[in-house]
Amino acid sequence: MQQPTTAPQNRPDRQPDANPLAQDFVQFAVEAGVLRFGEFKTKAGRLSPYFFNAGLFDDGAKLGRLAGFYARCLVGSGLQFDMLFGPAYKGIALAAAVAIELARLGHNVPFAYNRKEAKDHGEGGTLVGAPVRGRVLIIDDVISAGTSVRESIALIRAAGAAPCGVAIALDRQEKASDGTHDSPWSAVQYVREQLQLDVASIATLADLLQYLQGTGAADLAQHLPRVQAYRDMYGV
């Protein structure tokens, strides 16, 4: 399998303080059709000018490149962990793919994941893969309300291990909401402050704005005012 490329060709000029890995990831997500622009209704009932659907990393090449971004983000983050945990369902493929890419980079770690429903035959239980022990890093696509993270924490602690952090692809950096009231914190801030877990994200909404500011493509740059206005209204 071809190694993930360090940077896509035809990338936009970067601003001096831009995060190269994040900028490459945003361009990759746009080119893969995973990050789209328009008008999308969020779970909180907001009309967002962009939509990130990690489920569209749906073939071997795209999943491999995505895992490469996660792996390089984790190596650069300095997070200390002993294994990966992928919450069902999206996290299962992510944890497996990231474990492969970490091994390619010389960091071979075990991984496990959970079933939504307990199995009553064979090995039984809800956990599959390596024994859940030590410092466990949760791998997911985004953190929307923190529900998946809290469920993962409970499973990890029940197994006698210690959750140590969460790795996600995109931090939307917007106020969490239950559909009626907005929180002063984002979902990622909630995980950091209330659940006391480190969070590593490949890219953030700020990185997306930098990408739109730096691109020379008019069809992309036209979305900058709406994305900026959305952040001004709902950002943290």
Instruction: Give catalytic residues, as residue numbers.
Output: 119, 121
**Taking a C-beta distance cutoff of 8 angstroms, is the pair 65, 110 a contact?**
no
Helix/strand/coil for 104:
helix
13: burial class by Cβ within 10 Å (0-12, 13-18, 19+)? Answer: exposed
φ/ψ (deg, to 5) at 135: -90, 120
DSSP output for 34-85? SEEEEEEE-TTS-EEEEEE-GGG--SHHHHHHHHHHHHHHHHHHT---SEEE
| Distance in angstroms (rounded) separating the CA atoms of residues 147 and 3 | 34
DSSP 3-state helix, strand, coil percentages of the chain (rounded to 5)?
A: 40, 25, 35
